Amino acid sequence: MIVGVAREAFPGERRVALVPVVVPGLLKAGFEVLVEAGAGLNAGYRDTDYVEKGARLAPSRSEVFRDSDVIAQVLCYGSNDPTGKDDLALYRGGQTVIGFHRPFGSLESALQLAASSVTSFSVELMPRITRAQSMDALSSMATICGYKAVLLAADRLPRMFPMLTTAAGTITPARVFIIGAGVAGLQAIATARRLGAVASAYDLRPAAKEQVQSLGGRFIELPIEAADAEDKRGYAKQQDEAFFQRQRELLSRVVAESDVVIPAAVVPGKKPPVLITSDMVKSMAPGSVIVDLAAERGGNCELTKPGQRVIEHGVTIIGYINVASTVPYHASQMYAKNLTAFLLHLGKEGKLQTNLEDEITRDTLLTRGGEVVNARVREFFSLSPLPTQES
Ligand SMILES: NC(=O)c1ccc[n+]([C@@H]2O[C@H](COP(=O)([O-])OP(=O)(O)OC[C@H]3O[C@@H](n4cnc5c(N)ncnc54)[C@H](O)[C@@H]3O)[C@@H](O)[C@H]2O)c1
């Protein structure tokens, strides 16, 4: 069974799906690894590094797609709007594709993927169970994003982060406020603290309080309680507009007093709530910075322009998307470890098994045999359940 890695096709993408260090483990499990020449270069991995670890090189993308049984990708069709569609023509029936597919993004792309007859697994659908932690690519990329968001803010902020007592006087520490203390938010708190800032955070899930405090952050409690804050998978539940309105009112003061605000409040498959209005931006001191980690799906700040950095009311608002790709060496390393753990989970004696009794396999399987087969995705797009899914 050949696992193929082509150069990522999303414009500007620097990550690569597998890195050299994971190759020996795959070979040992009976896989072969075929890598397009130059695929890892933008992430800092040379062709010779792959070859030394036992991978073979292919001269072109089309050869990787032609000769591989499994295609390991970062951004597959669905999560790569500009160029992902070109992959459909390269897929062979019976081939398996693993990567980010943005499964709740567009029904059309899910149906087209199904029609291409590939078996696809979407890493976003990985269940949040202990057994699957080593395969959780969303958490890996969120870790990178949380870290980088703080660096982006520090770079733009006209102030330093740490408190300093110098002969020229005392410098007060920057105040960093994080909204949404999930994986990205928690890493942002840890990074801001390492740089010496005073970090505080808010999340509608009460369970987040202890995690924020354990990283040395102050948890901001608001006198508002979310109905049924957390679902059984650990994600926040969608709230109504009246709740968000109240959140905005209560968050106003904290936002106004912060030098940096990093909103990362999302609910899977839903448009992120607007938690920072134009008036709230106006209330911040000139030079303050907002790094909107929800930008990819519209943003938590009303003035965010996805993919851009803008200045509004004297406040820099960064809405970059695909932030994980800007730390490509470690983003690729973490992603490759996640994918390898997943491949080793699916593979037995060098063959992929699609055992639907297994929660990890069943939950991540997106398309097979020409159909969108994932029950959550079918329900999300109001497709009728498949006969085997009816209970
Ligand atoms: N294998 C596992 O057990 C596992 C793996 C990953 C994450 N987790 C846990 O799951 C939880 C969510 O993780 P995530 O980072 O993927 O979440 P996420 O990216 O879906 O959301 C980010 C954060 O935003 C918060 N949020 C959403 N709407 C909000 C609002 N209106 N106001 C304030 N906050 C809002 C969420 O509660 C969440 O903490 C975390 O507790 C994390 O530790 C568990």
C-alpha separations of 56 from 3, 36, 46, 181 in Å: 10, 9, 13, 42
Question: Is 139 in the active site?
Answer: yes
Other beta carbons within 10 Å of 216:
13
- Which residue lies with its CA nearest to atom 10 of ligand 1? 234
Interval 323-337: pLDDT, tens: 999 999 999 999 999
For 183-205, the DSSP string reads: HHHHHHHHHHHHTT-EEEEE-SS
The vertex-188 CA angle with 187 and 190, nearest 5°, equals 65
Query: What are the backbone angles phi and psi of residue 301, rounded to the nearest 5°?
Result: -110, 135
> What proportion of the chain, given as a percentage, has pLDDT over 90?
85
For ligand 1, whether the C-beta of 264 sits within 6 Å is yes
Q: Which atom of ligand 1 is nearest to the CA of 243?
A: 31
Q: Indicate if 128 belongs to the active site.
A: yes
Q: Which pTM does this prediction carry?
A: 0.94
Residue 249, phi-psi category: left (phi > 0), alpha (psi -120 to 50), beta (remainder): alpha
Average pLDDT, the chain: 94
DSSP-derived secondary structure for 243-308: HHHHHHHHHHHHHHT-SEEEE----TTSPPP--B-HHHHHTSPTT-EEE-TTGGGT-SBTT--TT-
CA distances from 63 to 4, 143, 314, 370 (A): 9, 33, 51, 24
d(CA 309, CA 306) in angstroms, rounded, equals 8
Cα separation, 360 vs 165, whole angstroms: 52
Taking 80 as the threshold, does the pLDDT of residue 229 lie above it? Answer: no
Confidence of residue 232 (pLDDT cuts 50, 70, 90): confident
* Amino acid symbol at 16: V
Query: Quick one: average pLDDT of 255-278?
Result: 94
Q: pLDDT at position 390, please?
A: 45
Contact 79, 366 (CB under 8 A): no
Q: Any catalytic annotation for residue 120? A: no
Report the distance separating Cα 165 and Cα 308, nearest Å.
36
pLDDT at 238: 80
Which residue has tokens 């939950």?
363
Structure tokens at 174: 């920057």
Q: Check if 330 has its Cβ closer than 6 Å to any atom of ligand 1.
A: no
Calculate the CA dihedral of residues 23, 27, 29, 30 and round it to 10 degrees: 140
3 state SS for 331-381: HHHHHHHHHHHHHHHHEECCEECCCCCCHHHHHHEEEECCEECCHHHHHHC
Residue 385: the pLDDT is 87
Asked about 384 being catalytic, the answer comes back as no
pLDDT at 289 over 50: yes
Catalytic-role residue among 112, 134, 139, 389: 139
Residue 202 Cα to ligand 1 midpoint, Å, equals 12
pLDDT at position 328 = 98
* pLDDT greater than 60 at residue 183: yes
Tens of pLDDT, residues 97-109:
999 999 999 999 9
Question: Model confidence over 28-58: pLDDT tens digits?
Answer: 999 999 999 999 999 999 999 999 999 999 9
**Rounded CA Rg of the chain:** 22
pLDDT digits (tens, 9 = 90+) for 146-171: 999 999 999 999 999 999 999 999 99
- Residue 268: CB within 6 Å of ligand 1? yes
Q: Which of 136, 203, 259, 292 is catalytic?
A: 136
Give distance in angstroms: CA of 235 to centre of ligand 1.
5
DSSP assignment, residue 51? H
